[in-house]
Structure 1
Amino acid sequence: MKKILFLLFVLLGWQSAIANAAEFDHKEWNNLLQQNVYLIDGGQASEVDYQGFSDNKAQLNDYLAQLSKVKREQFDAWPKNDQLAFLINAYNAWTVSLILTKWPDLESIKDLGSLFSSPWSKKFIPLLGEKRSLDNIEHKLIRGSGRYDDPRIHFAVNCASIGCPALANQAYQGDNVDSLLNQQTRLFLEDRSRNHINGGTLELSSIFKWYREDFEKGWHGYHSLEDFLIAHASDLSLAQSEIDKLKSKSLKIDFLNYDWNLNSKAQ
């Protein structure tokens, strides 16, 4: 009987530990975003106050240290929504941290790279038991894991550039990640500086060129980029004739140049 009670106690403790682990507190990151990210054009774009982040660097470093303390086995035990929220926040927070290594003496995140390596390939992030790069977080942990297969992440991870989708001014959490991803997707598609019809051609952000395969993997039944665009026709303000051409794959699609200038707030 004592052995059974002991095993029950261990089991309950294990379940409690998992439940607590899933409730990772992103409040510190949320506060930093609220203080230093300014939404413009109704939320379709954002400007980041990197000087404000720099002034609160101790708070940012504390949040990054909390992320680094999470063990891989803890992370793997969380619900997928908590995992995805964690990884998106980690990517965005460490991107800000990377910008601050040269702030204010840079005009683009690309200034942090070199002839032989990009800023996204730098291994400077202690996360889930490894020293990782931003590329590793995005392309291995998020896109390459097979756990999520959610193309909306491309409207959430932020590359600190004007061409990027807006950096949300709130942290992703397990209980808001789906609704916030939907919101960021809609806002990005509604931005006519990034996605619009021009003389019968649908001109889209280069994000759709670089990551086209992610929009064609069957998420929500979308097996082509056209399927995704048809589902978001209202966000793109497409006429019925343009929707019909998408259905027949006869609408010409082109991709716009990407603006790599820093998405910084004017000081």
Structure 2
Amino acid sequence: MRPGICLMIFFLLATGWAEAWGEGAYSAGYAAVLAAHVRDGGVDYAGLKEQEALLNTVLEAMAAVDPATLPQPERIAFYINAYNAWTIKLILDHWPGIRSIKEAGNILRSPWKREFVRLAGKTVSLDAIEHGILRRHYGDARLHFALNCASVSCPPLAGVPYQGQTLNAQLDAQTAAFINDPAQTFVADGRLHVSKLFDWYGEDFGGETGAWAFIRRFAGPRLATALDALADHRLVYTDYDWALNDRPRGARPSAPAAAPEQP
């Protein structure tokens, strides 16, 4: 039996998930899926496709949760997990052959506007979760680094579910990891080059000046030194790679995100 399957069975039996139908249930099952198939932020879609029934069971458990009954940190964590899990499902619905999440949409409707997410008795879109719920009601710019769009340039998919009791630390870690990734944030030709997320969601960061301050807040020593040496605080937005965040099998699973590096 493959290690991924053994790990899933362990999680399910250890938590009694097969008999329980609540928030703890979905979290344990989702943790098993991530542990078996997330590799350094990428996803083993081929392996997940073979075990899609397990993901479907997780999604059923999520659909049975009423987010309104959860305390706020748990509610935010739930919505992040739901967004990421249903994004995986969207890719699997088109696997194999899909090269970008954009191929899951069409000229009339983007994949993020498709209403296929079952949430608290309704069927909604990924956009409804991101823009209609998370951005509208919680206004935390760190959320942009927790939501995964199944693309190479997107902030990596976390290898563990988000949890209410550790949410603040998890959001800090995900944000710091992305900002301190030299592929995402770097200085060249006297200017700071950053992800287009800071352009698309500029209002969430407080414009270009706010984005600079946000990046400086999470910058580790190396990046902070480079930032402090720059006289020009204008940002350069890098091209976004929409290629699928697929990873081949056999890669070692990544460890949970560590605490952010302190300036």
Q: Shared fold by TM > 0.5?
A: yes
Measure the CA separation in 1 of the matches of 2:190 and 2:46.
Answer: 43
Q: Are residues 1:157 and 2:140 paired?
A: no
User: Aligned to 2:107, what secondary structure does the other structure show?
Assistant: coil
Contact kept in structure 2, 1:33 and 1:169, CA below 8 Å = yes
Q: 1:107 to 1:236 in 2, by over 3 A?
A: farther
Q: Are residues 1:106 and 2:101 paired?
A: no
Counterpart code for 2:74: D
Q: Are residues 1:243 and 2:235 paired?
A: no
Q: 1:84 to 1:48 in 2, by over 3 A?
A: same
Q: 2:58 aligns with which of 56, 63, 66?
A: 63
Counterpart code for 1:88: I
Contact kept in structure 1, 2:26 and 2:61, CA below 8 Å = no
2:238 corresponds in structure 1 to 256
Normalised by the length of structure 1, the TM-score is 0.80
Contact kept in structure 1, 2:27 and 2:161, CA below 8 Å = yes
Q: 1:115 to 1:198 in 2, by over 3 A?
A: same
Residue 69 (structure 1) shift: 1.3
Counterpart code for 1:256: T
1:52 corresponds in structure 2 to 47
Q: 1:131 aligns with which of 88, 112, 123?
A: 123
Gap regions ≥5 residues in structure 2: 1-20, 250-263
Q: Are residues 1:178 and 2:163 paired?
A: no
1:87 corresponds in structure 2 to 79
Q: Percent identity?
A: 36
User: Aligned to 1:224, what secondary structure does the other structure show?
Assistant: helix
1:140 corresponds in structure 2 to 132
2:219 corresponds in structure 1 to 233
Counterpart code for 1:47: G
Q: Which of structures 1 and 2 has the bigger CA Rg?
A: 1
Q: Say how many residue pairs are matched.
A: 229
Residue 70 (structure 1) shift: 2.0
User: Aligned to 2:118, what secondary structure does the other structure show?
Assistant: strand
Counterpart code for 2:104: L
2:195 corresponds in structure 1 to 205
Q: Are residues 1:26 and 2:27 paired?
A: yes
1:224 corresponds in structure 2 to 210
Q: Which stretch shifts more, 24-33 or 110-119?
A: 24-33
Q: CA RMSD in A?
A: 2.2
Counterpart code for 1:214: D
Q: Provide runs of 4+ in structure 1 moved above 6 Å.
A: none
Counterpart code for 2:132: K
1:9 corresponds in structure 2 to none
Residue 194 (structure 1) shift: 1.0
Gap regions ≥5 residues in structure 1: 1-19, 40-45, 218-222
User: Aligned to 1:124, what secondary structure does the other structure show?
Assistant: strand
